Amino acid sequence: MPDFTDNLRPSQPDGPTTLARERRQSNIATEELGHHLLASDGFLERQARILPIIQQEPLFSKDQQQNLSRPERFKLGVARAKLLRRMRDTHRWSYLEYQMAEYLVDDVSPYFLHMEMFITTIREQASDEQQAYWLPLTKSWKIIGAYAQTELGHGSNVRGLELEARWDSRTKEFVLHSPTLTASKWWNGSLGRLANHAIVVAQLLLPDPGSPDIYVSHGPHPFIVQVRDMKTHQPLNGIVVGDIGPKYGYITMDNAYMLFDQFRFVTRLYPYCHVTHYIYRSLDYLSITPRYSGLFGLVCNSPVQGQVITLTRIYTKPEKPALIYGSLTYVRSNMVHRARLVLARAVTVAVRYSSVRRQFQDRDGDKKGPEMSVLDYPTVQIRILPLLATTYALHYTGLAMQTVYKNARQDIEKGNFNSLAHMHSMSSGLKSLCTILATDGIETCRRAMGGHGFGGGSGLIQVNNDYLSKPTVEGDNWMITQQVAAYLIKKMTAAAESPDTAGADETDARFKEFIRNKRCLGSEKRTYDILNSDLDVVKSFELRATAMAYDAYEQRVMKKQNWNSLLIQLHKLSRAQSESIIVATFFDALSNDKTLSTPIKSVLWDCFRLFALYSMENESFEFFRSNAVSQADLNALASRVQDLMARIRPHAVKLVDSWMVPDYLLDSALGRYDGRVYEDLFNRAHRLNPLNRITFNPNYWEDEIVKGSGDNGGGILSKL
């Protein structure tokens, strides 16, 4: 219905005018930079090709999704996921293309665990026979699987799992049983409502060969179990399974609970033994101390063929530890790479909106012109521009991790395992730091946008809610930093034993040099010239991390301090080490690059400096204490950071444009490419908002809620 609001325009200068001016004032070629960042594996081309296909489908319209109830939103998620899977067939998409489509739709897929963990676990851990049976069923989606490890009472500590799988040698069956409520599986994605099969991790209980009535636990092992009827989709007898309820985000995922009551595998359905060798996921947590890295394995014959289970317990090293570490690094490098795109989304919205949004006039100005663009306020810049620099830092870090992974794989294939521990430590620390940078960064961007950042039109609500799970998955960020510290302490201990020998690797050499310098105290008090040399910036980060590693070594090894009392310090050490790696890889990437044009190169160098010096300023005391940077230089940091922000500021809009995030994915009134912020906000509120189709009865003495419905409030209560 037309009304007077149709003729209203935003006050001038409006968004399009402002963004056009922003884009004119920078000489950066966004095509070139976008290509540099995203073209190498065909990402940009795929995005351009698949976007219009997705946008054509009404089911993928994002207009109403924020208004739906949990059940309806979940149903929408399932409907979309089904359609995407069908489209993969229709369009003959490769897996990468399919992933692009998912990325653009931006729902967490309720089939995610089927497509990732379920298949991967079978592929990596099932025997050849088992694979021959299960893989075709899984790949063709004839069965839908999930992965059930975490329990109500146990997350990171896999050894503490309570679910039992007892081998009944009489009937040749496994019996799954949950002895307590805390043994309930919990948080297991895709299992709450969708999957009919699951890989279930349980404590394997076998009869003691000497006295068969006594059962002995052999630690956690994975089993493939059917959990729902293939026809009715109801849980099988003896299984209780369901969705765990509303969450902060992940609204389209049916995270599950699941309990077993003396549930027996019917061997007829399962021609092969389901005991496989090892739960690779758990290694990450178990490897905190060396005593856990001796691994359980179990050799068993097929119950069908031999009807016996050979009770030979073999303590072996994992067959291919390298691959296990390796795939973790791979997963984590992907997380870092994804982190940069998620952060880039948030920064895109924040930079564009902060350019369009105006507030107050410059106090020292003539007070005649329009209000200032809020991105010209240093208090806004200091929240957004370091994050803009962070997107680039994460980009090069992700790339470097992939290279390290490739090289390590090659080494390993040659039988050289030396780089493993280093790689594992690096990926632990970086996963922790990078996901925190992205998570906190999204929220910082959202808040930097004032009131409208809180609104649904910001486009940052679902992404924030979904992404907030990242600091805890794949290794809780606070837990895994211990591994970095443990590794560094070990390296420092080794270096301290023979500081005068040549370094075995880069870290070792750096540590030995540090120890030698420490010995002749006072002989070298040189600090780095961080304000004038980019290389010195890198060195100062290294020195700070080394000094902190030495402190930790001193506390733990020399003074024998309690591990628990050091955890805070170790966490800081991990951060220092990871920051040092990010800064160094950023530096190397820019130093080695021979392709980028001068304007882009020079602004990226400023981004490097901003990221490094801003991080340094936040922890300046650590740099001072480790003699990496002089007090005078630290005092000058604040104004240097501000100068750098002023230099990057004119390029801000083009720097975010270069990430090429399509408007459809942003789903943000504030972050639109064309700057029509207010028109879009109004359109969403006025035309797309279902609440405005309902007239309320506001009188408190009348129980009726919807005017004229005569509902007496009963309709509302019936939802309970």
Partner 1 sequence: MPAPPPNWVKALKPSGPQGSELLQQERAQSNVDVERLSELLHTKETLERRASLLALLQPEKVFDKSQNHTLGRVERLQRSLAKAKRLQQLAEEHKWSMTELHAANDLIGEPTPYGLHASMFLVTLREQGTPEQHKLFLERAEKYEIIGCYAQTELGHGSNVRGLETTATWNSDDKTFTINSPTLTASKWWIGSLGRTANHAVVMAQLFIDGKNYGPHPFVVQVRDLETHQPLDNAYVGDIGPKFGYNTMDNGFLLFNNVKIPHVNMLARFCQVDKETNHYAKPAMPSLVFGTMTWVRANIVLDAGGVLARGVTIATRYCAVRRQFQDRDADPHAGETQVLNYKMVQVRLLPLLASMYALHFTGRGMMRLYEENQSRMKAASSPDQESRGAGPEQLRAGANLLADLHATSCGLKALASTTAGEGLEVCRRACGGHGYSSYSGIGPAYADYLPTLTWEGDNYMLTQQVARYLLKSARAVLAGKPAGNDTSQILQAYLDRRDKGASFDVLDEDKDIVAAFAWRTAHLTFEALKHRDAEQRSWNSLLVDFWRLSTAHSQYLMVKNFYEAVSSPQLSAALDPETKGLMHQLFRLFSLHTLEREAAEFFSSGAVTVRQITLTRTTAVLKLLDEIRPHAVRLVDAWAIPDWQLDSSLGRYDGKVYEDLFRRASEENPVNDLVFDPYPWNSALLKNEPAKSKL
Binding residues for partner 1 restricted to 76-95, rule: CB under 8 A: 76, 78-79, 81-83, 85-86
Under rule CB under 8 A, residue 242 binds partner 1: yes
Phi, psi of 418, rounded to the nearest 5 degrees? -65, -35
Under rule CB under 8 A, residue 584 binds partner 1: no
Return the bridge partners of 206, or none: 216
Q: Using an 8 Å Cβ cutoff, are 313 and 298 in contact?
A: yes
Under rule CB under 8 A, residue 25 binds partner 1: no
How is residue 416 written in tokens?
A: 């050289």
Say whether 150 counts as a known binding-site residue: yes
For residue 613, with 0-12 CB atoms within 10 Å meaning exposed, 13-18 middle and 19 or more buried, which class applies?
Answer: buried
* C-alpha count within 13 angstroms, C-beta hemisphere, residue 146: 31
* One of 18, 125, 150, 540 touching partner 1 (CB under 8 A): 150
* One of 136, 209, 212, 246 touching partner 1 (CB under 8 A): 246
The reply to whether omega before 13 is within 30° of 0 (cis) is yes
| Residue appearing with tokens 């609204």 | 251
* One of 45, 136, 160, 314 touching partner 1 (CB under 8 A): 160
* One of 47, 120, 131, 156 touching partner 1 (CB under 8 A): 156
Q: Where are the beta strands (DSSP E) in 106-196?
A: 145-148, 164-168, 173-177, 185-188
> Considering only residues 485-544, where is the footprint of partner 1 by CB under 8 A?
none
Q: Could you tell me which stretch among 118-126, 211-219, 408-416, 557-565 binds partner 1 (CB under 8 A)?
A: 557-565
Site string for partner 1, 105-134 (x = CB under 8 A): ------------------------------
Shortest reach from residue 684's CB to partner 1, in Å? 5
Catalytic: 474? yes
Q: What b/e readout covers 182-209, taking b as 16+ CB neighbours within 10 angstroms? A: ebbbbbbbbbbbbbbbbbbbbbbbbbee
Strand, coil or helix: what is 671?
Answer: coil
Site string for partner 1, 688-707 (x = CB under 8 A): xxxxx-xxxxxxxxxx-xxx
Say whether 189 counts as a known binding-site residue: yes
> Considering only residues 399-458, where is the footprint of partner 1 by CB under 8 A?
443, 446-447, 450-451, 454-458
> CB neighbours of 650 closer than 8 A, spacing ≥ 6?
22, 25, 26
* One of 13, 16, 34, 249 touching partner 1 (CB under 8 A): 249
Shortest reach from residue 719's CB to partner 1, in Å? 6
* One of 43, 103, 296, 624 touching partner 1 (CB under 8 A): 624
Integer CA distances (angstroms), 206 to 179, 216, 218, 515, in order: 16, 5, 7, 52
Neighbours of 391 (CB within 10 A): 28
Q: Could you tell me which stretch among 34-42, 44-52, 154-162, 406-414 binds partner 1 (CB under 8 A)?
A: 154-162
Give the pairing of strands 256-260 and 239-243. antiparallel
In the complex with partner 1, the residue whose CB is nearer, 489 or 660, is: 489
Under rule CB under 8 A, residue 314 binds partner 1: no
Phi, psi of 135, rounded to the nearest 5 degrees? -60, -45
- How many residues of this chain bind partner 1 (CB under 8 A)? 153
> Considering only residues 166-225, where is the footprint of partner 1 by CB under 8 A?
178-184, 186-187, 192-196
Under rule CB under 8 A, residue 35 binds partner 1: no
| Residue appearing with tokens 């399009």 | 16
In the complex with partner 1, the residue whose CB is nearer, 10 or 42, is: 10
Under rule CB under 8 A, residue 384 binds partner 1: no
Q: Could you tell me which stretch among 152-160, 390-398, 517-525, 538-546 binds partner 1 (CB under 8 A)?
A: 152-160
Integer CA distances (angstroms), 685 to 60, 64, 70, 418, 459, in order: 20, 11, 21, 59, 14
> Considering only residues 336-375, where is the footprint of partner 1 by CB under 8 A?
357-360, 362-364, 371-372
Q: Give CA–CA dist 205/174, Å, rounded.
A: 9
Strand, coil or helix: what is 562?
Answer: coil
Under rule CB under 8 A, residue 678 binds partner 1: yes
* One of 90, 211, 564, 598 touching partner 1 (CB under 8 A): 564
> CB neighbours of 365 closer than 8 A, spacing ≥ 6?
372
Question: Of residues 474, 542, 579, 679, which has the active-site annotation?
Answer: 474
> Considering only residues 639-658, where is the footprint of partner 1 by CB under 8 A?
642
Under rule CB under 8 A, residue 310 binds partner 1: no
* One of 53, 68, 494, 557 touching partner 1 (CB under 8 A): 68
In the complex with partner 1, the residue whose CB is nearer, 90 or 211, is: 90
> Considering only residues 277-306, where is the footprint of partner 1 by CB under 8 A?
288-289
Q: Find the radius of gyration of the CA atoms of the chain.
A: 29
Neighbours of 228 (CB within 10 A): 21
Residues of each annotated binding site: 150, 189
Catalytic positions are 474
Residues in the annotated binding site for FAD: 150, 189
